[in-house]
Amino acid sequence: MPALLAALLAASLPAAAEIGLHCPQETSPVRTADPARPWACAGEAGSGGECPDGYEVGITLDAQRPYRCVLSGLSLATPLGFCPPGESPVPSTDPAKSYECESARGGMRALPCPRGTAPVATPRGLKPFSCAAAGAARSLAPGPRKPARDGSCPEGTSRRRTEDPFEPVQCVALEREGDAPAPGRARTFVVPGVLLFEYPGRWHLTDAWKDEVPSALLFLDTGQGGRPVSLTVTLRRAGQPGYEPMEQAMEEERRWHGARDAGERKVAGSAARLQEVPGESDEAFVPVAGGYLHVAYGAPPDLYARNRAAFEKVLDTLRLGKGEPSASGAAPRSP
């Protein structure tokens, strides 16, 4: 039965991935945020620094250690088995056992990305990772180019800080002077009866509005490695995991990310509060009944200005439906 299970799972994963039932010595099973690879084998070496040969950076569901060095090309089969009520089967660290039972009530744990998407590290975000369309996530993942030992980059590239804690600086191709993004046809994101907004058609959107914390995640494929160009629209309300009142969330951004006040503007009939990290990020806090919408844009300094129009586009076109009345009591246009 275990062999059949591994064979069935192998058929659903890339051909290059090896499927195992147990982790090799000196590694242990970890849940990952990648739906195509729910379990991986993590080692202690390189955690918090550069991964050794044979390992790669993995994004896990462990809130305390979200970034781990995991064995390259090896995935663990998701075990099937019978467990007592309130417990679920997980890979066993004992080679003689096909699975172990773990309490399903062992505290809060993040949910993996939905199928068709892949995790992208966001250490400075509200969560350690976001989910992007699988193709976009791969193209946005940091490339293999690292600075030389003296910190220099080869000709035709420049140093760029990334969101990857294992490779904080990489060498990426220089853009041509005057290069500007093609406008692309605008698309509309709609949650019927709740909200709608428009965004540039070149951006990849992942609909996570049915998650515990509803959100829409947008990424721009720049064809380069390094920190991604991203934009998120998130609905925050009391009772959600990690919820903070709007004033507290704004203060946290100022304290930890160096954000500063950028005034107010009308968004969807409400007085939205704006904050910015000049040349790096913008965010808008839009009051709604029982909470607020958080709209956040971020990009590397050399890509910030030329793609910021997407942030303005979302704010200009955001409309709330009858299911989400604005805090001001205005009657916004229904999606």
Q: Which pLDDT score is estimated for 296?
A: 94
Q: Which two tokens stand for residue 298?
A: 């971020």
Is the Cβ–Cβ distance between 106 and 88 less than 8 Å? no
Can you tell me which residue has the tokens 């004992």?
A: 94
Q: Please provide residue 312's backbone torsions phi and psi, each rounded to the nearest 5 degrees.
A: -65, -40
Q: Which pLDDT score is estimated for 9?
A: 35
Spatial distance between the Cα atoms of 298 and 16, rounded to a whole number of angstroms: 33
Output the CA–CA distances (angstroms, integers) from residue 266 to 277, 284, 312, 327, 330, in the order listed. Answer: 20, 10, 12, 12, 11
- The mean per-residue pLDDT over the stretch 279-304 comes to 93
Q: Where in the chain is the domain with CATH 3.40.1000.10?
A: 117-141+156-320
Q: Which two tokens stand for residue 156?
A: 């035709």
Non-local CB neighbours of 196 within 8 Å, separated by 6+ positions: 188, 189, 190, 317, 318, 319, 321, 335
Spatial distance between the Cα atoms of 63 and 58, rounded to a whole number of angstroms: 13
Q: Which pLDDT score is estimated for 100?
A: 87
pTM of the model: 0.52
The DSSP output letter for 140 is H
Spatial distance between the Cα atoms of 41 and 37, rounded to a whole number of angstroms: 11
Write the DSSP assignment of 18-46 as a string of letters: EEESSPPTTEEEEEBS-TT-SEEEEESTT
The yes-or-no verdict on residue 270 having pLDDT over 70 is yes
Of all helices (H) and strands (E), which one includes residue 133?
Answer: strand 129-133
**Chain centroid offset of residue 23 CA:** 27
Q: Return the C-alpha torsion angle 222, 304, 226, 172, nearest 10.
A: 70
Is the Cβ–Cβ distance between 254 and 238 less than 8 Å? no
Of all helices (H) and strands (E), which one includes residue 195?
Answer: strand 195-199
Neighbours of 215 (CB within 10 A): 21
Q: Which pLDDT score is estimated for 65?
A: 82
Which of 204, 201, 199 has the alpha carbon at shortest distance from 221? 204
Which of 312, 305, 304, 265 has the alpha carbon at shortest distance from 285? 265
Is the Cβ–Cβ distance between 313 and 198 less than 8 Å? yes
More confident residue, 120 or 83: 83
CATH number for 117-141+156-320 (one of 3.20.20.30, 3.30.70.920, 3.90.1150.10, 3.40.1000.10): it is 3.40.1000.10
Q: Which pLDDT score is estimated for 327?
A: 46
User: How confident is the model over 50-82, as pLDDT tens digits?
Assistant: 678 888 888 888 877 888 888 888 888 888 878
User: How confident is the model over 80-108, as pLDDT tens digits?
Assistant: 878 888 888 888 888 888 888 887 655 44
The DSSP output letter for 261 is E
pLDDT category at 181 given cuts 50, 70, 90 is: very low
- The mean per-residue pLDDT over the stretch 168-191 comes to 64
Q: Which two tokens stand for residue 75?
A: 């995935």
Spatial distance between the Cα atoms of 245 and 282, rounded to a whole number of angstroms: 19
Q: Which two tokens stand for residue 97?
A: 């056992």
| Cross-strand bridge partners of residue 190 | 196
Q: Which two tokens stand for residue 153?
A: 């980059």
- The mean per-residue pLDDT over the stretch 175-200 comes to 73
